[in-house]
Amino acid sequence: MSEQPRQVGGGRTMFGDFAPKLAELTDDVLFADVWNRPDLSARDRSLITVAVLAAGSHTGQLGFHLGRDIENGVNQSELIETITHVTLYAGWPNGMADMGVAKNVFTEQNRKETK
């Protein structure tokens, strides 16, 4: 596996003062350990994460991870295709809600890039 950017969580930033254990587990286990294991690239982990979040229609986390996927080299059309594929396995209402999140994230991202 080639060198890739180190994945860093934001648990302490988001919840460090409110839920310090959850922040610690997010930063030290999920990101510092699992996301940085060498057997899968960050790009692959990003696609897997979006597929799992989309399947469960976890829209609260999906927006963040769509942005992280772009940072890890996944493009918007690949993410749209991932959500479309998951929709046929996880259910139409989930897919429609997930695609709404993706549309909002990508519209905002495209707006920032054109400024």
Confidence at residue 4, expressed as pLDDT on a 0 to 100 scale: 66
- The domain tally of the chain equals 2
pTM, two decimal places? 0.84
Phi, psi (5° rounding) for residue 51? -60, -45
Confidence at residue 14, expressed as pLDDT on a 0 to 100 scale: 81
CATH number at residue 103: 1.20.1290.10
Tens-binned pLDDT, residue by residue, of the chain (115 aa): 456 667 677 788 888 889 999 999 989 998 889 988 999 999 999 999 999 999 999 999 999 999 999 999 999 999 999 999 999 999 999 999 999 999 999 999 989 888 8
User: Domain check: are 29 and 48 in the same one?
Assistant: no
Q: Find the domain containing 14 and state its range.
A: 9-39
User: Domain check: are 103 and 49 in the same one?
Assistant: yes
Write the burial class of residue 88 (CB in 10 Å: 0-12 exposed, 13-18 middle, 19+ buried). Answer: exposed
If you ran DSSP here, which 8-state letter would residue 111 be given? H
Q: What are 29's two structure tokens? A: 């286990």
Confidence at residue 1, expressed as pLDDT on a 0 to 100 scale: 46
Question: Tokens 């979040």 map to which residue?
Answer: 53
Decide if 49 is inside a domain.
yes
